[in-house]
Each structure stands twice: as structure tokens, then as C-alpha cells.
């Protein structure tokens, strides 16, 4: 009996050691990738009659589109306090954010949702299973949201907000329900659907992507769009200069 217990303890110890080594390796790989990320600084950017704000939160951007004195948010950052501080720099009242469109539900894109008390939350219908426990992300863990009040979106659906029109484009790959948003046919917000290298679209890091094959297919889908003049990524800046 003692021999069996000893063997079980040894086996358990080996399993725990392997888990620690795997988690440590993954953490180091993640930190290495974060160092390569180049989010935009917190700044107001004016494009003719359109105004877009990039909000920097450590290694990630969320964005605000100004609409009739109110704001449309694309994603909600990695840290609520950081987002609040950056908005104060821009003298933007979070209560004037009327809509949040999530590109996906990873933690670095949803942290400040509760800061925007008057905002309606939107995200892809295909992403919902990842947020309610039906589907898991990495290592058996799922994603979560601080609210169960939201509106689900379908591919090619158009949503009017203020004087803006948001076209929803399903781009699975990074997560099962990743979605991009084309605002007024000009500004494309892609989240983690792709990265930018030397101003050109490139794959997002595969280690943090559910399905590289689906990601590549989604990138081809985005490449067929003829309208966007600017592309905004969550971690790698934007195309064009402003």
C-alpha cells in the first residue's frame, strides 16, 4: 500500500512539475511577444469630419469614435484604472460612451466595460459560447464578461449608432467569434484578427490564436474589402499616419 501511495505521489509531482514548466514557458513566450507590440499612444486623431481617439493601456489599444457629442468604443482595454486615467487626459467623460463593440472577449479587451455605465455592449454571436462557459480558451479556461446584458451580432450586420454606421465582419481565428468593425466604410478596427509589420497586414501570434487556419481565411476575407482607408489594430498600431 505504501509503495502504491509513494508511486502516486511521485507521478503527481512529475505532473505538477511539467505543468509549472509549461506555464513558465508560455509566460516567457507571452512576455517576449508583448515586447514586440507597438500600440498607439493615447491621442485624438482627426480625419476630416471624423474624430477617433486611440487609448493606450499598457500593451493594447482601445478606440473611441466620436458621434454627435457621444462616443462609440471599440473594445474596453486591459485595466479599468488605466483606461479611466487616459480618458481624463483627453477630458472625455466615460458616461458619454453609448456603445461598446468588442472585437473579442479576451481579458485585455474587456476590463473597463463597467466604466462605461451608459453603453450598450455588442459582440459576435459566435463569441458568446466562450463567455458563458460552453467553450474554453486556453488550458481549460474560458473568458468572462462583467455583465449578461448585451446584444449579439451576426456577420455582415450593419448597426447604426448616432451618425455612424458600423458594419460587422466575422473574422474567426484568434478566438471562435472574433469580429472586425468597419465604421462609415472608412475605418476598419480589427482587434487581434491580424498584426501590422512594416505597414502591411501580417498574422497575429499563433501561440495566442485558437485556429491559425481560420485566422488566415479571415485575413483573406478582409483583403477583399475595398472600402477601408485606415486599419486600426489592438496591439500593432494603424495603417497610414495621423
Global pTM?
0.87
The string of DSSP letters for 42-91 reads SEEEEETTEEEEEEEETTEEEEEEEETTEEEEE---S-HHHHHHHHHHHT
**Does one domain contain both 86 and 104?**
yes
**Does one domain contain both 137 and 162?**
yes
The three cell numbers locating residue 182: 468597419
Measure the CA dihedral 206/185/199/189, to 10°.
Answer: -40
Number of separate domains in the chain: 2
The answer to whether 61 and 236 have CB atoms below 8 angstroms apart is no
**Phi/psi at 17 (5° precision):** -65, -45
Residuewise pLDDT in 10s, the chain (242 residues)? 567 666 666 667 666 655 455 445 444 555 556 667 889 999 999 999 999 999 999 999 999 999 999 999 999 999 999 999 999 999 999 999 999 999 999 999 999 999 999 999 999 999 999 999 899 887 666 799 999 999 999 999 999 999 999 999 999 999 999 999 999 999 999 999 999 998 889 999 888 899 999 999 999 999 999 878 999 999 999 998 66
% helix, strand, coil for the chain, step of 5: 30, 30, 40
**Does one domain contain both 160 and 144?**
yes
The three cell numbers locating residue 162: 448616432
Do the domain assignments include residue 57?
Answer: yes
Amino acid at each position: 500500500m505504501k509503495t502504491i501511495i509513494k508511486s502516486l505521489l511521485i507521478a503527481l509531482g512529475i505532473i505538477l512539475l511539467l505543468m509549472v514548466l509549461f506555464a513558465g514557458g508560455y509566460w516567457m513566450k507571452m512576455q517576449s511577444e508583448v515586447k514586440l507590440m507597438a500600440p498607439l499612444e493615447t491621442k485624438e486623431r482627426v480625419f476630416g469630419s471624423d474624430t477617433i481617439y486611440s487609448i493606450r493601456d499598457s500593451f493594447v489599444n482601445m478606440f473611441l469614435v466620436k458621434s454627435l457629442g457621444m462616443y462609440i468604443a471599440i473594445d474596453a482595454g486591459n485595466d479599468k484604472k488605466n483606461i479611466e486615467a487616459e480618458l481624463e487626459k483627453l477630458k472625455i467623460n466615460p458616461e458619454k460612451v453609448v456603445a461598446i463593440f468588442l472585437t473579442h472577449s479576451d481579458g485585455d479587451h474587456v476590463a473597463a466595460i463597467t466604466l462605461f455605465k451608459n453603453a450598450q455592449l455588442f459582440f459576435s454571436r459566435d463569441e458568446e459560447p466562450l463567455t458563458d462557459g460552453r467553450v474554453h480558451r486556453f488550458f481549460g479556461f474560458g473568458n468572462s464578461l462583467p455583465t449578461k446584458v448585451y446584444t449579439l451580432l451576426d456577420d455582415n450586420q450593419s448597426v447604426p449608432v448616432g451618425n455612424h454606421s458600423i458594419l460587422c465582419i466575422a473574422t474567426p481565428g484568434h478566438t471562435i467569434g472574433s469580429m472586425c468593425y468597419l465604421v462609415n466604410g472608412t475605418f476598419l478596427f480589427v482587434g487581434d484578427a491580424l498584426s501590422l509589420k512594416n505597414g502591411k497586414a501580417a498574422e497575429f501570434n499563433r501561440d495566442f490564436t485558437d485556429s491559425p487556419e481560420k485566422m488566415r481565411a479571415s485575413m483573406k476575407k478582409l483583403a477583399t474589402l475595398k472600402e477601408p482607408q485606415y486599419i486600426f489594430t489592438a496591439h500593432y498600431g494603424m495603417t497610414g499616419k495621423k
